[in-house]
């Protein structure tokens, strides 16, 4: 009786929306192609036409499809996907070379005790103090990655909170005399949690690229643990492989990986066209407690 609802979003409709959106952006459904008819979609996805309709409504309001009564639904042109970044190992290294404006927003900064997992991965004593920071990287003003980093306290104190907002962490670490020697990366995928979704300006439940990287110095001790989440529409890993060895062993090596997917200029326009309000900004307020609540 006290409080009523919060948000509550459609479910099947929303999923279908995300799905179709993916197919369009990924080029799976070619530009200007005709989508299956509403009844057809309804049947294929085993939902009612009403639901299909809701999904299409959303797509239409994003400007991604065009609906012609009596004729059908068509993909609007210029949805070429994968607009932005790429690279394998050095991540953003050459972004700057390309003259794109990147930025960092520091979201959280604190000291915590290492969880068992963290300690193990960093090869530290469990319970050791770590400096934790959460940052969001922007490209041309648009967020594309959400970074949670853990650095041993003794190392972390060598730079200030402000430094973090301006300088890449690895550079900060090197300034303090540490030498990164090797690193390990694991790439996977996850769904966007509410916090991350808000920070990256995507919907909850969207697919995100995830990367976990642990950097070690020559002694073998871990000096940085990074958990990164990327918007796949703005960032993806890109690599060129060249064949090495003889025929028997099908073996490839990563060739130069600086091939960037060139930016799609249509994107600015597209993003402008699309209304993106329905996300409650809750970036910093991690508990999510609504002050207006009793």
Partner DNA sequence: TTTATCTGTCCTATAAAAGATACAGATTTT
Partner DNA sequence: AAAATCTGTATCTTTTATAGGACAGATAAA
- For residues 70 and 277, which CB has a smaller minimum distance to DNA in the complex? 70
Q: Does 18 bind DNA (CB under 7 A)?
A: no
Residue 257 tokens, joined? 């990986």
| Site map (CB under 7 A) of DNA, residues 109-148, x = contact | ----------------------------------------
Residue 1 binding target from DNA, its own copies, none, CB below 5 to 8 Å by type: DNA
Q: Name every residue whose Cβ is closer than 8 Å to that of residue 50 and which is 6 or more positions away in sequence.
A: none
**CB 62 → DNA: shortest distance, Å?**
14
Distance of alpha carbon 245 from alpha carbon 22, whole angstroms: 38
Residue with tokens 């990367």: 211
| Phi (first) and psi of residue 265, to 5 degrees | -70, -20
Contact (CB, 8 A) for 108 and 287: no
94 counts as binding DNA under rule CB under 7 A? no
Query: Is residue 56 within the footprint of DNA (CB under 7 A)?
Result: yes
Q: Is 278 in the site for DNA (CB under 7 A)?
A: no
Nearest Cα residue to 136 out of 104, 110, 168, 90: 104
From its own copies, DNA, none, which one binds at residue 172 (CB under 5 to 8 Å depending on kind)? none
Select 60 or 180, whichever has its Cβ closest to its own copies: 180
Report how many residues bind DNA under the rule CB under 7 A: 34
Is residue 238 within 8 Å of 261, Cβ to Cβ? yes
Q: What is the C-alpha to C-alpha distance for residues 60 and 125, in angstroms, rounded to an integer? A: 54
- Pick out residues in 64-83 that bind DNA (CB under 7 A): 67-73
Q: H-helix or E-strand containing 201?
A: none
Pick from DNA, its own copies, none: which does 224 bind, CB < 5 to 8 A by kind?
A: none
Structure tokens at 226: 């990074």
Using CB under 7 A as the criterion, which residues of the chain lie in contact with DNA when the complex forms? 1-6, 8-14, 35, 37-40, 46-51, 53-54, 56, 67-73
């Amino acid at each position: 009786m006290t409080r009523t609802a919060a948000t509550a979003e459609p479910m099947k409709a929303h999923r279908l929306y995300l799905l179709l959106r993916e197919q369009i952006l990924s080029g799976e459904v070619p530009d200007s192609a005709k989508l299956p008819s509403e009844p057809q979609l309804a049947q294929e996805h085993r939902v009612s036409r009403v639901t299909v309709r809701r999904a299409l409504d959303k797509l239409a309001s994003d400007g991604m499809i065009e609906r012609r009564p009596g004729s059908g639904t068509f993909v609007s042109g210029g949805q070429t996907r994968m607009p932005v970044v790429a690279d394998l190992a050095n991540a953003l290294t050459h972004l700057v070379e390309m003259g794109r404006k990147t930025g960092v927003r520091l979201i959280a900064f604190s000291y915590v005790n290492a969880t068992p997992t963290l300690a193990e991965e960093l090869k530290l004593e469990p319970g050791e103090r770590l400096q934790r920071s959460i940052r969001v990287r922007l490209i041309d003003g648009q967020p594309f990655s959400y970074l949670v980093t853990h650095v041993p306290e003794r190392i972390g104190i060598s730079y200030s909170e402000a430094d973090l907002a301006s300088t890449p962490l690895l550079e900060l670490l090197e300034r303090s005399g540490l030498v990164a020697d090797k690193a390990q990366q694991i790439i996977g995928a996850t769904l966007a949690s509410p916090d991350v979704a808000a920070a990256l300006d995507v919907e909850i439940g969207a697919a995100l690229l995830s990367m976990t990287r642990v950097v070690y110095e020559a002694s073998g001790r871990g000096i940085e643990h990074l958990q990164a989440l990327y918007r796949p529409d703005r960032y993806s890993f890109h690599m060129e492989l060249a064949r090495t060895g003889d025929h028997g062993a099908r073996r490839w090596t990563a060739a130069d990986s600086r091939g960037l997917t060139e930016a799609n200029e249509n994107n600015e326009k597209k993003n402008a066209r699309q209304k993106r309000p329905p996300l409650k900004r809750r970036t910093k307020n991690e508990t999510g407690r609504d002050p207006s609540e009793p």
